[in-house]
Amino acid sequence: MQEQEQEHDQPLETVLVRVTGKVQGVGFRFATVRRAHMVGVGGWVRNNDDGSVEALVQGTPDQVDQMLAWLRQGPPQARVDEVTSERQFIDRRFTRFEQQ
């Protein structure tokens, strides 16, 4: 419990991520939600009309780095060609991670 309280004192980073490749129809969003819950980040993931997957990841710098590393691989059925990320400066704090 004490470890979680310490994490709340750390600065939060928010990153908008776009993943391209074979990332739709392979359970990518579901697996991303599961990984996000394991890592402890907030935000969301969704499919884009162009076949890419987009995610907003918010957490400590270490948590965000863990998610970015996982998103570069994705679930076993996926083929990730490219991951782009852009830091966001927003006031909203996400308390959970969900699929949109």
Q: Is 48 labeled as catalytic in the residue annotation?
A: no
For the whole model, what pTM was predicted? Answer: 0.89
Strands 13-22, 79-88: pairing is antiparallel
Given the residues 18, 29, 87, 96, select the one marked as catalytic. Answer: 29
At residue 4, the pLDDT reads 42
At 19, is the secondary structure helix, strand, or coil? strand
- Sketch out the chain's domains with CATH numbers: 2-99 (3.30.70.100)
At residue 11, the pLDDT reads 84
Per-residue pLDDT of the chain (100 residues; tens, 9 = 90+): 333 433 456 789 999 999 999 999 999 999 999 999 999 999 999 999 999 999 999 999 999 999 999 999 999 999 999 999 999 999 999 999 999 9
Given the residues 34, 46, 47, 96, select the one marked as catalytic. Answer: 47
Burial bucket for residue 91 (CB in 10 Å: 0-12, 13-18, 19+): exposed
